[in-house]
Every structure is written in structure tokens, then in C-alpha cells.
Amino acid sequence: MVKYNRKEMNVLKFYIFFCTMFLFSVGGTTQETAAEIIKKSDEKVRGKSSKSELKMTIVRPSWERETEMKAWSMGDEYSLILVTAPDRDKGVAFLKRDHELWNWQPAINRTIKMPPSMMMQSWMGSDFKNDDLVKESSIIKDYDHSILREERLEGRNCHVIELIPKKDAAVVWGKIITWIDKKDYLQLKSEMYDEEGYLVNTMYGKNIKMLGGKLLPSLLEVVPEDEEGHLTRVEYLVLEFDIDINQSFFSTKNLKRIR
Amino acid sequence: MVFKLAWRNIWRNKRRTIITASSIAFAVMFAGFMSAIQEGSWDHMINNVVSSYTGNIQIHKKGYWDSPSINDLTQEKELSMVKDLSENIDIAVPRLESFALLTTGENTRGTMVVGIDTEKEDLFSNMSDKVKNGTFLNAGDEGVLMGDRLAELVGAEIGDTIILISQGYRGVNAVGKYPLRGTTHFPTPQLNRSLVVMTLEKAQAFYGAEELISALVLKSSPLGVEDRVTQSLVSSLDTSSLEIMTYKELMPELIKSKQIDASGNYIIFFILYMIIAFGIFGTILMMLKERQYELGVLNSIGMEKRRLFFMVWWELIILATIGIVIGLIFAFGLSYYFYVNPIVLTGELADAMEKFEFDAIMPASIEPRLFIWQAIVVYFICLIIILFPFFHIRNINPVKAMRE
Amino acid sequence: MILKLAWRNIWRNKTRSLVIITAVALGIIASLFLDAFAQGMVRSFIENGIEKVTSHIQIHKKGYLEDENVKNYIPEIDSMVTAISQIGQVRKVVSRSIVNAMVSTSRNSQNVKVIGVDAQGESEICSLDKMMVEGDYLPLNGKNKAILSTRLADKLSLKLNSKAVITFMDPNNEITAGLFRITGLFDSGNNNYDDQNIFVKKDDLFRTMFPNAETNKTLPEHEIAMLLNEKGQIPEVLDTLHSLFPQHDIQPYSELSPELGLYESQMDFITWFYFIIIMFALIFGIINTMLMAVLDRYKEFGVLMAVGLGKRKLFTLILLETILLSVVAAPIGMFLGYVIIVYFSNQGIDLSIWSEFLEEYGMMSMVYTQVNALSFYRLTFILILTAVLAALYPAWKAVRLNPLEAIRKI
């Protein structure tokens, strides 16, 4: 049996992560329920469309790798990613339209249609777990939320919220504890636990700045608890929401032309 | 004194001596030969399986075998001296193996890509013989080989351009296009459906894994020397980052089958021993009966029963020794003949073996320990049987005996 | 007349006769047992392998084996299964839904095959329930339970009752995921099999695939596997199946697992080879014993010949004696052989005594001897023939006697 690569992040995987990772909030009011807080925090990335430039770093004990890319998205069905660095991978682009996945390889001047199973492949390994990528608003609909306490983190007052998966929810975690900034609904830290209460992953939101007109953490880091020297980092260099874009942008013709 | 008597008795009645000694000799011969064929046929099977791809020993980055990953690679240079570490190593071939998607227009399939050193690999597994269509790769070749079934499924013909994409070493984008040089046919349908072969350099470039390999595959001989070879490797290699595995760990299913077979053999040999034990016993019994008169006479003229017993005992020991030595010679001779001229198989088994591209033969092994062990067992059986005369002699009534 | 003489001679010298009767009887017992044991070995290891992994015959949609896509399901599978279960030689037939999926835990994820089965049927066809080492087999009640191998559980850091999220693509390319709990761990003894497969109930797989309970949907199934009453019936059943379902891929175990076929042929051949060797050992044993016996009777023969018994008659006499002895030995050998074989067919022989390697496999190392009426008679006949042939040389030797010399030996 051919075994697929488990561990390494592919631009593809990252892209899906990117599309479904929701971290940022919009305004806020007082005395909300835990669920409401989470919802607001989640809604931040849900613009109708977006454009961004980002840098992803994979850190391992003996090496480190950095990839830079540009990404465009419209709703949940359309997105396009262009790799801009390093040189070896420059120009490679991915297009997702509904359930179809296309890959442009400049080195051989070909657009390749990826088999549907690859879409599933993209959800393996790396420090971003499958749970992060399954369906959007999984964090809302698959969990029960409750406020544990208030705590100060990185100079900000945060709600500390506990998320417990609902009975039949298809999530791997036993529980998640997340720190959400009271004022700006920024997700500053998330701890993922397995069912026996062991901490498995911690995700940090750092370097808060104005991106696309919103105050957001521009740096995401996922740190596995049990693996020394392992880290995955995603940094937003540029982020714009609700850009002027339509369906025709997300086409295979455009894959080749995009720069 | 008793011994001298025994010795003379033996040569007095040649016919009896020959019959008794030969029954023991036959015992050793059959047991030895059966053991030789059994061992030989398994060695043949294992050799075939092991030398077709897996090799006798493999060296990889630690953890690779249980969880293969394009990131668990090791420096080819670090292992270049391995071949010289033991004289039992015949050949060492480097390989880089991983997954890739093969695409032709709309169709994309998963494949297993193997980068090989064309010359060494051919020496190792005769891969060029497996190329039924087109040509084998030469050193520095830009092209690839594909499993024949795979080529059919994607509609690729010799000369077509094959496109492969994958995820490379440490996450780099792996993409390349290669002309199809030929198609291969292996006995395993799985390989025919999924294998793509290219040169090691091309594979390293494809995966962004320059100078790296996923495994160094060794062929050693004779079969059985693997553990010793591994010992000599362990002292020269960094075992904290590398793993060295013999075919027993690489192919546990094969070993399991052999074990199952071997344990069944205990029963079968037991049956054989019973038969030969009885054969020897019958002969000795008859011999004693025949000598009733003689023994009765000896007893009546004053030879104590105890000495009678020892006389007979010595006779039998000497006969057993002669028989076993002759038996060993014949066992070895017979096995040697079938070692050099193995039994040629026909019928169902031959067909099954040929499908796997094994020689349909059954050779005998000539390992001395097999014969020596059987000789020991037969000797032991004789010793037990020889006790029987003790009872027989004890009950001799000299008068009755002489009247016979 | 010679017959009467032969008969009386036999009973005159009890010891001698007893030895030869025993030798022949022993030979019969040994060959019967060898045959029964070899059959038992084949049954234990080859047929168990067949029954656990491939079954006797499997059916797939054409092209499925090369592209194991959930879309390559067998249409109208229920009617096929019904039709097949009505074939006389089929003992049991099951169908399976096979989906390439990813199983994820909080620590790891892995590509696997998720096999949706009917729990009861599956235990009947491949004894899956007997391979469990920890926990329970798939339960009748209880939703979304899964069983996997201990090896796979290790890789995924899964324990009993742990969560596993199974994600896969349905026939419409929609990605779905379901939460399953591990209810038991198995060990099939086959590493490849263990590394690949996770079993769940068909109902659970269906609900995960179509969570919105659309009534017009059915679970796509990809494989039909069947066990026949006897391995030997495979060719005729294949014919029947090919005529019933000409457009499907129908394969016997030897095609599905060529190694199994190879080991089986090897075992058959080696057994036959052992049988030959044992026959030779027996022949030589008998020849030697008979030679001794004949030597012993030199005087007797000398007297007989001096008295006028011709050489030919003497020869016939000796042969007849051997035949009679064998005929007496035959029923004894057959009876004792039968008793021993039946005993071991119930008790079984535990091979793991000789191999710690096999000890791990407990049940699997038992060999139950097989009783086979046809081999019984065939083998006994061969043995009697052998005994008679073995007597030829000694008889010939006896006949070459010079009667005067023989008498002089008195």
C-alpha cells in the first residue's frame, strides 16, 4: 500500500487551513454568553472575499522552512493561492472551485487536476490538526461553550472560555480552552486537550496590528506539547477584506496568468 | 575381552552384520536427506523472495521502515563504505522511494517512485529482465520505466511524456516530466499497477533530496549470515540515527510461514523416526532370535548373562557406529547430488513458482549440521533400542535356547 | 495347499510374525497419520489464511481493484447477494462497503480503509470476532463503534473508548466526517492487513456518509466475499458466478493472494515428498526385517527344498506369508490409525510447544488431523503392496539357497 506523507505541510493544506481558520472578531458588547463571544471572534474572517499575503514557517529540531504566498478567496467555494517564495516553488499556484482542485506547475507548463482524494490528504499531519479544517464554524456548532474566568494575557483582559465537544461532534479534541480578548475579540491563545486531559497543541495569536482595517493578530503559532522543537508559524503580511473580485477570477486560465 | 569377542562376532557373520548396519545406515540417510531437502527448499524460497527486491539487509534512517516518509532520508555518502565492511556482502544498492501523483491530462493516479542506481540495481535484481517493452534505463537516463498495468491504465506509450508531482523533502514542491522508456512486468500485480522507476539522480532532483537516499539494500550470502554481518555493521555505523534490518524483520510473513512449516516438520520427522526405529528394532530382534542357540551355548558353558549382554551390546554399538558413518556418507552424497542437480518441479507448484519468477526447482542443502544432527538422533534411537537385548538375554533359558 | 502351509508357518513363529505385522501396521498408521496431519496443516494455516483474509472467492466491480474509489461500487448488490446465497456450494456470503479514509486522533492521522460490514456476517465469514485481543467486537447495539488492530492503535495513540474521527469522500465528492469510538482491538497476525483496515458497522457508515437521512440513498458497497463448503468446489462455483455476473470481476483466493497459492502448492509437494521418503524407509525396514527372518529360516527352507518343494513354490510361499501377514496387519493398522487420527482431530496438536514464535498465535498453532475415507483405503492398499514388494528380494534370496548347504548348517 502506498503511504502518503503524513507530516509535512503542503501549501495546499495550508490553504484549506487558511480558508477555514477563523480567529478574528468585530466589535463587542457587554455581558455576552460564551457562545456569543466565540461567534463574534469567529465572524471576523468571514468577509465576503479577501486577499492576503502571508508567510508560513515550519520549524523542526534540525531544520526550518519558509514559504511565502499570496491568497485570494471568495466565500467558501472559491480560492486561489500563489506561492511566491522560495525560488524552487515560486509560481506554483492552486485553485479551488467547489469540490475541484487544480494545480499550476510553471516548471512543466501544465495545469493539473488533483484527484478528489487529495483534498482529503491535505488535512493530515503537520501541527494543524484535522479538527481545525473539517468544516467552518465547527468551533461554533460542534461545541458547548462556557466562560471559565477572566485573565490578563499579553497586557489584555481576556475571557477564558472552555469548549467541550458535543456528543456526536466529529472533532478529535477532548476540550479546548481559548483566551479571547474582551475588547476586540481577538483569539490570543487556544489550548487543545485530548480526552484524557493532556495538552496536545497550543495555538498563539501574536503581533496584533491593523490588517485590512481590522485589529487582528498577524502571527499565528501552533506549538505541539510533546514534540521538542516543533512549530508551525503563519504570518499575515497583508490582509484585505471584501475586495472587488468575482467568479471569473477563479479560473484555470487565471491560474497561469497570476503573478 | 568381551569387546574382542564382540568384534570377532561381527566379522564372523557378514550377512547379519551387513543387514543390521545397513538398516541403521538407511535410517541416517533418509533422515539426513529429508532434512536437507526441507532446508534446501526453504532456503531457495527465501533466497528468491529476498533477492527479487527486498535484499537480505537494509539500512535506513531510524524509524523509516515502520513509518516511511520522504523526510526520513539519509546521506548516501555516509553509507558508501558499507559494502566493504563485510566480505559476505555481495552488493549494496541505494534507493530513493516515495509517493507521487502521475498525471496525464484529466487522469491522475497515485504511484510509487523508485530512484535506482541502474547498474547496481540490475546486478542486484536483474531489473532489466523485467522490462518487457521498450528499454531499460541507462546511467544518467532522463526517462522513466512504468509498471505495465499502470501504463495501460493511463494510456501511456513508449516515448510519451509522463508528469509526476508530489511533495518533496521537507515540504518542497516536487514536479517533473519524463519520457517513458519502457514498461516492466513483475510477479506482484501491485507493482505493475503503481511502480515508476527512474535514476537515483533524477529522483533526488525530483524530491529536492540531493545526495539523500531512503534505503541502502544489501545482498549477502550465504543465507543465514545476516546477523553476523549486521554485527559488523553496527560497530561502524551510527545506530542512534540509523536502523539496520535483516530480511527477517523486513518480511515477517515469510519467516512466519517458515516457522509454521518447521514446527509441522517436528511431527513428520517423529513419524520417520518411529518407522526407522522400528526397522532397526525389527532387525535386531530377528538377529537375537537367530542367535538364540549360540547365546544359549555361551551361557551354559559359563559366560555370565551380564557379559553376554555386554558382548551383544558392544556388537551393536560397533554396528551402529559403522552404520551411522556409512549413512552419513550416503546422506551427504545424496544431498550433494541434489544440491548440484536439484529436483526439477512440474505441475501446479512449478506454475505457481514461475508466476513469481522463481526457479521451479527443489535443491537440497548441504549444511553439515543437518546431517550431524540426524546422525545424533539416530544414534540416540539405537542406544535406546540396544537396551532391549538386555531383557531378552536376561530371560534366556539356555536349555530351551539350545533345543531350538 | 501352499496357502495352508503359509498360514500355518505364520502362526508357528509368533515373534517373527509379530515383528512383521507390527512393521506393516506401523507403516500403515504412519502414512495415514502423515496424510491426516498434512491435511490438518494445510487446513490450519492455508485455509485459515484464506478464511481470515480473502475468503474463497471475491467479486468486485470491474476496475475496482485498480482504482479503489468509493464510486466504483457494485450496483444492485442485494439481489446479487441473494442469488449467490442460493448457490448450493456457498456456505456464507457477505458484502462490504470499503472507503478510503483518514482516521485522525488528537495526536496523529493515518490513511486507512474503512470497511463497513454486517457484524454478524463478518464474524461468520472471517472470524473477525475471534481475532480480538482487547475490548469487544462490534456490538449489535451502540452507534459509531469501530475496531482496529493493535498496531494501528499504537500508531494513532488510540486506546479502548478513545475518539477517532474518520473523514472520507462520499460518491458525490463531498467530504464528510464522523466520530467513532474504539470498542475493541484485534490482531490478525498479518501486518499489512492490520495496518490498513478499520471495521465499522454498515449502518454507522451509511449515517456518516448521508447524515441527512435521504431515503432514496443506499450505502455503496464494493466487495462480495464468500466461503464455500469446500475449497475444491471453487472451480465449479466460479463457472456459475461467471455466467450469472459476466460483467464483474470474480476471483478465487489464489489470484487475490498469490503468495497463499504458492505456499499451498509448496506444502502439497513437500508432503508428497515426505511420503515417498517414509515409504522408502519403510520398504528398507521391511526388507531388512524379512531378510533376517529368512536367514533365520535357512534350515527350514533347506529341509523343504530337500523334501521336494520346488523353487517356485518356495518363492510363492514366502510371498504368500508376507501377504497374509500384511492382510492381518492392515485392519489393525487402519483401526489404530483411525483411532489416533480421530483423537487428534478433536484434541488437536499444539505446535507451539516447539516454537515460541507460534505461541503468540495461540489458536492458530493447533493442527487438527483430518479424516479422509478415500485416502484411508488408498494408503492401506499402497502399504500392503509395498510390503509385498519388500518381500520380493528376501524371497528371491531364500530361493537361491542350496538346500544341502542349508541343511548342513544345522
Distance from CA of C236 to the nearest CA of A (A): 32
Give whole-number Cα distances, B389 to B279, B316, C26, C183, in Å.
15, 10, 21, 66
Cell of A176: 479546548
pLDDT in tens, A108-119: 888 888 776 665
The per-residue pLDDT for C408 is 63
Distance CA A72, CA A84 (A): 14
The per-residue pLDDT for A21 is 38
Asked whether the beta carbons of A201 and A185 are under 8 A apart, the reply is no
Calculate the average pLDDT of chain C: 83
Asked whether the beta carbons of B243 and B119 are under 8 A apart, the reply is no
CB-based contact B275 C282, cutoff 8 Å: yes
Asked whether the beta carbons of A185 and A24 are under 8 A apart, the reply is yes
The per-residue pLDDT for A230 is 86
Residue of B20, B35, B272, B278 to mutate, interface with C, max C Cβ within 10 Å: B278
DSSP letters for B198-253: EEHHHHHHHHT-TTEESEEEEEESSTT-HHHHHHHHHHHS-TTTEEEEEHHHH-HH
Partners of B102 on chain C (C-beta within 8 Å) are none
Element (H, E) at C204: helix C202-209
pLDDT in tens, B135-173: 999 998 999 999 999 998 888 899 999 999 888 888 788
Residue of C106, C160, C168 to mutate, interface with A, max A Cβ within 10 Å: C106
CB-based contact C104 A171, cutoff 8 Å: no
Partners of A99 on chain C (C-beta within 8 Å) are 173-174
CB-based contact C102 A129, cutoff 8 Å: no
Calculate the average pLDDT of chain A: 78
Closest by Cβ to A123, choosing from C100, C102, C106: C102
Query: Which backbone phi and psi does B88 adopt, to 5 degrees?
Result: -80, -5
| Number of neighbours of residue B302 by Cβ within 10 angstroms | 7
Residue in chain C closest to B282 (alpha carbons) equals C289
Distance from CA of A141 to the nearest CA of C (A): 14
Q: Give the CA dihedral C271, C274, C275, C281, nearest 10 degrees.
A: -170
* pLDDT of B97 higher than 60: yes
The per-residue pLDDT for C92 is 93
Distance CA A206, CA B222 (A): 62
A vs B: CB pairs below 8 A: 72
Distance CA C175, CA C151 (A): 27
Partners of C66 on chain B (C-beta within 8 Å) are 149, 153, 193
Distance from CA of C289 to the nearest CA of B (A): 5
pLDDT in tens, B373-402: 888 888 888 888 888 777 777 777 777 766
DSSP letters for B57-120: EEEEETTTTTS--TT--EETGGGTTGGGG-TTEEEEEEEEEEEEEEEETTEEEEEEEEEE-HHH
Could you tell me if C355 lies within 8 Å of chain B, comparing CB atoms? Answer: yes
Within A97-230, residue ranges assigned H as helices are 116-121, 130-133, 138-141
Q: Is A175 helix (H, G, I), strand (E, B) or coil?
A: strand
Asked whether the beta carbons of A95 and A102 are under 8 A apart, the reply is yes
pLDDT band at A132 (very low <50, low <70, confident <90, very high): very low
Q: How is chain C split into domains, by residue range?
A: 2-49+264-408, 63-246
Element (H, E) at B265: helix B252-290
Residue in chain C closest to B360 (alpha carbons) equals C266
Distance CA B389, CA B383 (A): 11
Distance from CA of A254 to the nearest CA of B (A): 18
Element (H, E) at A249: none
Residue of B103, B109, B169, B196 to mutate, interface with A, max A Cβ within 10 Å: B103
| β-pair type (C109-117, C197-201) | parallel
CB-based contact B175 A105, cutoff 8 Å: yes
Q: Which amino acid is located at A28 in the chain? A: G
CB-based contact A107 B111, cutoff 8 Å: no
* pLDDT of B205 higher than 60: yes
Task: Report the pLDDT averaged over residues B327-354.
Answer: 85
Degrees (nearest 5) of the Cα angle B31, B37, B42? 130
Distance CA B137, CA B197 (A): 9
| Number of neighbours of residue B189 by Cβ within 10 angstroms | 15
Distance CA B351, CA B358 (A): 10
Asked whether the beta carbons of C119 and C201 are under 8 A apart, the reply is yes
Cell of A42: 469567529
Give whole-number Cα distances, C32 to A245, B149, C72, C310, C342, in Å.
85, 47, 49, 39, 11
Distance from CA of A98 to the nearest CA of C (A): 10
Q: How is chain B split into domains, by residue range?
A: 2-49+254-403, 57-222
Residues of A contacting chain B (CB within 8 angstroms): 2-11, 58, 60, 63, 65, 67, 83, 88-89, 92, 103, 105, 107-108, 110, 112-115, 118
Closest by Cβ to A1, choosing from C102, C164, C196: C196
pLDDT in tens, A39-54: 888 777 666 788 989 8
The per-residue pLDDT for B290 is 74
CB-based contact A67 B171, cutoff 8 Å: yes
Residue of C67, C104, C166 to mutate, interface with A, max A Cβ within 10 Å: C104
Distance from CA of B170 to the nearest CA of A (A): 7
Task: Report the pLDDT averaged over residues B164-190.
Answer: 88
Partners of C19 on chain B (C-beta within 8 Å) are 282, 285-286
Give whole-number Cα distances, C358 to B257, B338, C352, C361, in Å.
10, 31, 5, 5
Residue bearing the bigger pLDDT, C369 or B365: B365
Q: Which amino acid is located at B53 in the chain? A: Y
The per-residue pLDDT for A133 is 38
Range list of β-strands (E), A187-230: 187-193, 199-211, 214-224
Closest by Cβ to C109, choosing from A3, A6, A192: A6
**The whole model's pTM is what?**
0.79
Distance from CA of B152 to the nearest CA of C (A): 11
pLDDT in tens, A179-197: 998 888 888 999 999 999 9
Could you tell me if B349 lies within 8 Å of chain C, comparing CB atoms? Answer: yes
Could you tell me if B387 lies within 8 Å of chain C, comparing CB atoms? Answer: no
CB-based contact B266 C269, cutoff 8 Å: no
Residue bearing the bigger pLDDT, B124 or A7: B124
* pLDDT of A31 higher than 80: no
pLDDT in tens, C201-260: 999 999 999 888 777 788 999 999 999 988 889 999 999 999 999 999 999 988 888 777
Distance from CA of C214 to the nearest CA of B (A): 31
pLDDT in tens, A134-156: 345 577 888 999 999 999 988 89
Cell of C326: 500384511
Give just the sign of the alpha carbon dihedral A66, A67, A71, A77: negative
* pLDDT of A127 higher than 60: no
Give just the sign of the alpha carbon dihedral B255, B257, B259, B261: negative
CB-based contact C104 A124, cutoff 8 Å: yes
pLDDT band at A131 (very low <50, low <70, confident <90, very high): very low
- Picking from C94, C115, C263, the residue whose alpha carbon sits closest to that of residue C188 is C115
| β-pair type (B212-213, B215-220) | unpaired
Closest by Cβ to C30, choosing from B22, B271, B349: B271
Q: How many CA atoms lie less than 13 Å away from B158 in the CB half-sphere?
A: 11
Distance CA B389, CA C348 (A): 36
Q: How many CA atoms lie less than 13 Å away from A172 in the CB half-sphere?
A: 29
Residue in chain B closest to A63 (alpha carbons) equals B170
Low-confidence ranges of chain C (pLDDT < 50): 362-363, 410
